[in-house]
Amino acid sequence: MHIRNAWYVAAMSNEVADKPLGRTICNHNLVLYRGKGDKIAAIEDFCPHRGAAMSLGYVEDGELVCGYHGLRMGPDGNTLSMPKQRTDRFPCTKSFPVEEKYGFIWVWPGDKAVAAETPVPTFHWAESDDWAYGGGHYHIKCDYRLMIDNLMDLTHETYVHSTSIGQKEIDETPVKTRMEGDQVITERYMSDIKAPPFWQMAMGFQGLDKDADVDRWQICRFNTPSHIMIDVGVALAGNGGFEAPAEKRAGSVVVDFITPETDENMHYFWGMARNFQAQDAELTDKIREGQGGIFAEDLEVLEAQQRNLSRYPDRDLLKLDIDAGGVQARRLIDRAIKAEQESA
Amino acid sequence: MHIRNAWYVAAMSNEVADKPLGRTICNHNLVLYRGKGDKIAAIEDFCPHRGAAMSLGYVEDGELVCGYHGLRMGPDGNTLSMPKQRTDRFPCTKSFPVEEKYGFIWVWPGDKAVAAETPVPTFHWAESDDWAYGGGHYHIKCDYRLMIDNLMDLTHETYVHSTSIGQKEIDETPVKTRMEGDQVITERYMSDIKAPPFWQMAMGFQGLDKDADVDRWQICRFNTPSHIMIDVGVALAGNGGFEAPAEKRAGSVVVDFITPETDENMHYFWGMARNFQAQDAELTDKIREGQGGIFAEDLEVLEAQQRNLSRYPDRDLLKLDIDAGGVQARRLIDRAIKAEQESA
Amino acid sequence: MHIRNAWYVAAMSNEVADKPLGRTICNHNLVLYRGKGDKIAAIEDFCPHRGAAMSLGYVEDGELVCGYHGLRMGPDGNTLSMPKQRTDRFPCTKSFPVEEKYGFIWVWPGDKAVAAETPVPTFHWAESDDWAYGGGHYHIKCDYRLMIDNLMDLTHETYVHSTSIGQKEIDETPVKTRMEGDQVITERYMSDIKAPPFWQMAMGFQGLDKDADVDRWQICRFNTPSHIMIDVGVALAGNGGFEAPAEKRAGSVVVDFITPETDENMHYFWGMARNFQAQDAELTDKIREGQGGIFAEDLEVLEAQQRNLSRYPDRDLLKLDIDAGGVQARRLIDRAIKAEQESA
């Protein structure tokens, strides 16, 4: 169950270069490729001739060519030509609204008319040269909503990520969940603590004393269909925390684009945006590598959780205060799905 | 869906040596082995004692011995003996008509009475010392009829095999499909072209100028249940093409025995028979290796096509002129299956 | 189909050290761990908070800690605590009777009240320092009853284990099956034969002439739910066989604990107990290694047999005299299952 009328991240821009990419998004098997002028296109991955996978073909002169018998397709799913064939009555393959923005390829699995009126969401960190971004892609065998739960309750850092960003004080500090417009926010503020290893590293990069007492913040912001941006960071204690001046803090935005692949599996596009040393590409790589290792720790946990839930689909889970972020996020999703169904 | 009353290639002769071979053919799990006088036998792979797989056993004194408790079986599926047991009332295991011919083991999944009246098909290239043969076996996760389509429309060579036997002129030359007796023939003749890499190699072996203009032919011949023999080759341009004298041509027969394993999977016995330098075993190996590489390129395409068709079983595919060979071949198969069902 | 009210071996003691162990027993997904005082506990592997797998967590201060959000559980399945949460109304997770004895962890999948009245079975070889034990664990994709059949009919040694413990005389010597109390016994006595390789090795360790004529015995003892102890060995010929004095024999007990994992798969805890050179740990390792290799030969046979039986579930198998042990054992199991169902 997922929202149909929404922009989902389907790929990172650099995943689609010369060759077409086959990828399943929201139960649709797609081929993504760059057509004329490198403009991205998203079509069902099914050749109307004999059902071959177009993603095994290639792009020539901006046209997607089937690798089986040479049918050529345009970005709207219409056959452009096929050797020695009249193609004007060939059935049109389903195409999907697609945009490229911020280094991601965004696909809209629902109604085209609604897509045309709906811009891809904007993110401040992606629009300024003061910020740098690095990230990656994981494929996880679980319902995408388990990842939403995961990210809206960072208590798990203490346990799953105990050697990097976890620390006991997370557990000991209550969270607050609230709605702000159409955004679910779960926030936690820790005062006068020591920074955990990952943040000590970041403080080092900032020229701050790693061993100093800090105030730490985690502000998780969920928007439909399933994006979570998390303000995280530390500031030297007593300087206002999240509001501290730049030279006394090390902070960033954890970027999480969560996209259903099928009803059972998901794509996770994770990353980190930072507004310090933004020009340092080496640092971007180093952080990406560290974050990639940390976020991989969630995979085993989530996949085992999914197996348990699939085996016992009728069990009631607990909904504690720390779960409020996930609960609220699911409520927004359910409401949007219901609205789509009623209008259909 | 496949014809029951027909000889299918179940294995290459050299796959069944000292040890029994377990193999599934047309949904039957078989054990193939060499009994007395090395005569091949085909029995259901199921020991009547406790259901062990006879193919995990061994052959001794021409008897198939179960590797679990020593039951010994004859080629008709009757138990011959078992240590310290009276076996005369043991149930008989199903046996299948089986022949060894041309270096292949042929199995008949249908009625024994019909098999007794039906000889294994003959092939001219297999009956003369002027010809050499080399080939191999692939296991492919697709309906066997997708391979028939594949081989009856060689347009795909331009795309799937672009670096070896494909060339643009295949696309540009129309094919003609016709019936000749109970054989479907799809043929294509290209004139005054350059030979593609594989045929340049063959011309070299023949002492011909690789860069000369040639006439090229592809004559695909389908017979039920699912064998396709393809005359292929090139001749120096203007010498009659397929009919050119031996010293001006390089040609061969692409041999394709296509055998359903189950309803979802198939065995592909591919090879090439040639009537030049037939005594050169090293050349046979070299060609086999080249052909094995080329034909492996089809696997990924066919398996992805199958996944697409399994997902959308109700979609109509196009039936273009280039598809006529496959369409006609399937028509012969359907007609034979219907006749079998009516007579049953 | 298996007996619910019985002690099954769930693990070897050394499989559960510092970390919890996830294991499925009789269709129950369990986490096994050592709590306070290293006392073993067995709980369903499902965190009541969000369904995470407790087996991915850790043990701290004798408490099982969920590795996702830090819920702490006691051996009865009750939540002890969770950071900043009141947990007194959390649902109790199902716990299972569990005992540690003889180097094994025994789990009772049925009624707790019956477990409380039923001691874990005793084994003479496990209670004396005169005996040494070594063994291992295999996971096999077959119904556990196929392993019972396997072990109650050692005729298969001639075929499956022809290079170690098999020999032709096993086949040629009839077996006798009888009940002794609630134990099924199948026995075979061979006289004046040569020892097979494994027993020649054992005779060497005992200082006996490997090439001497021996009397050999195999006495298989089955008890519900699915344990089989097999007295095996050889003695210099004419000295009473199984009853021969210690200095003229080499014997041991093959230990087989057979535990259903699910209805389709099983755990096999195999080993050997011997009362010669019991202090020689190196010999224990050597025998374990040899036995591990021999018993691995059964896996392929049993898994192929299972595939055959799953494909043809309605086929009648033969029940010969050599199968009587398995037949009787299954009868005891069926009777116990029926009694459980009637009392339920």
Instruction: List, as one string, the DSSP characters of C51-92.
Output: ---GGGSEEETTEEE-TTT--EE-TTS-EEEBTTB--TTSPP
pLDDT confidence bin for A275, thresholds 50/70/90? confident
Mean pLDDT for A251-262 is 96
Q: Do residues B195 and B234 touch, judged by C-beta distance below 8 A?
A: yes
Domain boundary, last residue among B92, B117, B142 = B117
Q: Which residue has the higher pLDDT, C50 or C164?
A: C50
Does B148 share its domain with B102? no
**d(C-alpha A234, C-alpha A199), whole Å:** 7
Assess whether the previous peptide bond of C225 is cis (omega < 30° from 0): yes
- Residues of A in Cβ contact (< 8 Å) with B304: 52-53, 55-56
Contact status, residue C108 vs residue C97, Cβ threshold 8 Å: yes
Q: To the nearest whole angstrom, how far is the Cα of C29 from the nearest Cα of chain A?
A: 9
Chain B: residue whose CA lies nearest to A69: B156
The alpha helices in B216-323, defined as continuous H runs, are 281-311
- The amino acid sitting at A94 is K
B322: contact with A, CB 8 A cutoff = yes
Q: Say whether the peptide bond before residue C197 is cis (omega within 30 degrees of 0).
A: no
| Six-digit token string for B36 | 């007395």
Cα A7 to Cα A120: distance, rounded to the nearest angstrom = 6
For residue B301, which residues of chain A lie inside 8 Å, CB to CB? 52-53, 56, 67-68
Statement to judge: residues B254 and B133 lie in one domain: yes
Residue showing tokens 């010369």: A18
Contact: A155, C56; criterion CB under 8 Å: no
State the smallest CA–CA distance between residue B2 and chain C in angstroms.
20
A277 and A337 within one domain:
yes
Q: Do C69 and A311 touch (CB under 8 A)?
A: no
Chain B contact partners (≥3 CB pairs within 8 A): A, C
Q: Which residues pair with B234 in a beta bridge?
A: B216, B250
Show the tokens assigned to B315.
């979609």
Q: Are B54 and B63 a contacting pair, CB within 8 Å?
A: no
C283 and C190 both lie in a single domain: yes
- Selected for mutation to probe chain B from C154, C158, C305, C314 (highest B CB count within 10 Å) is C305
* C133 reaches A (C-beta below 8 A): no
Token pair listed for C208:
């006996």
**Do A183 and A72 reside in the same domain of the chain?**
no
pLDDT at A271 over 80: yes
CA distance B159 to chain A (A): 5
- Would you say residue C3 lies in a domain? no
pLDDT at C170 over 90: no
**Which of A244, A218, A243 is closest to A231 using CA atoms?**
A218
- DSSP per residue over B72-137, as a string? EE-TTS-EEEBTTB--TTSPPPPB--EEEETTEEEE--S-HHHHHH-PPP--GGGS-TT-EEEEEE
Q: Is residue B1 part of a domain?
A: no
Q: Do C308 and B52 touch (CB under 8 A)?
A: yes
Task: Give CA–CA dist A112/A124, Å, rounded.
Answer: 26
Q: Do C315 and B50 touch (CB under 8 A)?
A: no
**pLDDT by 10-residue block (mean), chain B, 344 residues:** 97 96 98 97 97 97 95 97 94 97 98 97 95 96 97 84 80 92 95 92 89 96 97 95 93 96 97 90 91 89 97 93 95 97 88
Nearest neighbour of B155 by CB, restricted to A51, A65, A69:
A69
- In eight-state DSSP terms, residue B226 is T
Looking at the structure, tell me whether residues C88 and C163 fall in a common domain.
no
Pick from C117, C141, C169: which residue ends a domain?
C117
Question: Which residues have C-beta within 8 Å of that of residue B259, sequence separation ≥ 6?
Answer: B8, B9, B10, B25, B26, B144, B226, B266, B267, B268, B269
Cα distance between residue B180 and residue B182, in whole Å: 6
Contact C69 A312 (CB under 8 A): no
- List chains adjacent to chain C, taking adjacency as at least 3 C-beta pairs closer than 8 Å: A, B
Cα–Cα distance for residue pair C266/C177, rounded to 1 Å: 25
Residue B52: which of C301, C315, C316 has the nearest Cβ?
Answer: C301
Percent of chain C, pLDDT > 90?
84
Sheet order of strands, C8-12 included:
C8-12, C104-107, C98-101
The predicted model gives C112-117 an average pLDDT of 97
pLDDT score of A35: 96
Interface with B, mutate which of A29, A84, A89, A94 (most B CBs under 10 A): A84
Residue B122 domain-assigned (yes or no):
no
* Residue A42: exposure state from Cβ atoms within 10 A (0-12, 13-18, ≥19): buried
pLDDT band (50, 70, 90) for residue A170: confident
Q: What percent of chain C has pLDDT over 70?
A: 100
Nearest-CA distance B84 → chain C (Å):
6
The pair phi, psi for residue B292, each rounded to 5°, is -60, -40
**C188: pLDDT confidence band, cut at 50, 70 and 90?**
very high
Ordered DSSP codes for C120-160 = PP--GGGS-TT-EEEEEEEEESS-HHHHHHHHH-GGGHHHH
SS3 A153: coil
C158 → closest Cβ in B48, B70, B91: B70
Assess whether A146 and A233 both reside in one domain.
yes
Check if A67 contacts B (Cβ < 8 Å): yes
Q: Do A323 and A185 belong to one domain? A: yes
For A121, the 3-state DSSP assignment is: coil
Residue C159 predicted with pLDDT over 80 = no
In chain A, whose CA is at the least distance from the CA of C46? A308
Residue B287 lies in a domain: yes
Most confident of the following: A276-280, A286-290, C40-44:
C40-44
Set of chain B residues whose Cβ sits within 8 Å of the Cβ of C305: 50-53, 68
Distance from CA of A307 to the nearest CA of C (A): 9
What is the amino acid identity at position C199?
Answer: W
B229 and B87, same structural domain? no
Range of the domain at A196: 129-343
Split at pLDDT 50, 70, 90, the class of C233 is very high
In a domain, A37, yes or no: yes
Name residue A12's amino acid: M
pLDDT over threshold 80, residue A160: no
Determine, yes or no, domain membership for C167: yes
| Residue after which a domain boundary falls, among A55, A83, A117 | A117
Rounded CA gap, A124 and C285, in Å? 65
Q: Do C305 and B50 touch (CB under 8 A)?
A: yes
Q: Which residues of C touch B82 (CB under 8 A)?
A: 320
Report the C-alpha gap between A160 and A297 in whole angstroms. Answer: 6
In terms of DSSP bridges, do strands C72-73 and C266-274 run parallel, antiparallel, or are they unpaired? unpaired
Instruction: Please give the tally of structural domains in chain C.
Output: 2
Each residue's pLDDT tens digit, C197-207: 889 988 998 89
Please give the pLDDT value at position C205: 83
Taking the C-alpha atoms of residue B244 and residue B250, their distance in angstroms, rounded to an integer, is 10
- For residue A100, what pLDDT is reported? 98
The verdict on B327 and B284 lying in the same domain is: yes
Cβ contacts of A185 within 8 Å, gap of 6 or more = A177, A178, A179, A219, A220, A221, A222, A325
Q: Look up residue C129 and give its amino acid.
A: D
Closest CA to B55 of B103, B102, B22: B22
Q: Which two tokens stand for residue A93?
A: 């393959």
Interfacial C residues in 158-217 facing B (CB < 8 Å)? 158-160, 171-172, 174
Q: Can you tell me whether residue C223 is helix, strand or coil?
A: strand
Together in a domain, C179 and C110? no
What is the value of ipTM here, to two decimals?
A: 0.91
> Per the CB < 8 Å rule, is B308 touching A90?
no
Residue in chain C lying closest to B30 (CA): C308
**Which pLDDT score, from 0 to 100, does residue C25 have?**
98
From chain C residues 282-301, the ones with a CB under 8 A of any chain B CB are: 300-301
C-alpha C153/C-alpha C330 separation (Å) is 13
C315 to chain B, any CB pair closer than 8 A? The answer is: yes
Q: Which residues contact A222 (CB under 8 A, 6 or more apart)?
A: A148, A151, A152, A183, A184, A185, A186, A228, A325, A328, A329, A332
| 3-state class (DSSP) for residue A46 | coil
Six-digit token pair at B37?
């006088």
CB pairs below 8 Å between B and C: how many?
70
CB pairs under 8 A between A and C: 70
CATH code, C60? 2.102.10.10
Has residue A147 been placed in a domain? Answer: yes
In this predicted model, what pLDDT tens digit does every residue of A127-143 receive, in sequence order? 999 999 999 999 999 99
Order of all β-strands in the sheet with B132-140: B132-140, B266-274, B249-260, B227-236, B213-223, B183-194, B176-180
Residue A219: which residues within 8 A CB-CB, separation 6 or more?
A: A185, A186, A187, A230, A231, A232, A242
* CA distances for B23 relative to B53, B67, B110, angstroms: 11, 17, 17
Q: What is the CATH number of the domain that holds A192?
A: 3.90.380.10
Chain B CB contacts of C320 below 8 Å: 49, 82, 85
In degrees, rounded to 5, the angle at the alpha carbon of residue C187 between the alpha carbons of residues C6 and C306 is: 55
Q: Is residue A108 part of a domain?
A: yes
Tens of pLDDT, residue by residue over A89-110, are 999 999 999 999 999 999 999 9
A312 CB neighbours in chain C (<8 A) are 46, 51
Residues C201 and C298 in one domain: yes
Q: Distance between CA atoms of A196 and B332, rounded to whole angstroms?
A: 72
Residues 6+ apart with CB under 8 A from C279: C132
Q: What is the token pair recorded at A50?
A: 């004999």
- What would the two tokens of residue B112 be? 């024994």
Comparison of pLDDT for A42 and A157, the residue scoring more? A42
Q: Are strands B40-44 and B28-34 parallel, antiparallel or unpaired?
A: antiparallel
Give the chain C residue nearest A308 (alpha carbons): C51
Whether A313 and chain C come into contact, CB under 8 Å, resolves to: no
Best mutation target among C59, C84, C85, C92 (most A Cβ atoms within 10 Å) is C84
Q: B27: nearest CA in chain C? A: C311
Q: Can you spell out the DSSP letters for C231-272?
A: EEEEEETTS-GGGS-GGGEEEEEEEEEEEESSSS-EEEEEEE
Lowest-confidence region among A276-280, B114-118, C220-224? A276-280
| Closest-approach residue (CA) in chain C for B93 | C315
Residue B291: both structure tokens together: 């052909």
Tell me how far CA of residue A94 lies from CA of A21, A323, B253, in angstroms: 16, 39, 41
Contact C160, B67 (CB under 8 A): yes
Q: Do C318 and B50 touch (CB under 8 A)?
A: yes
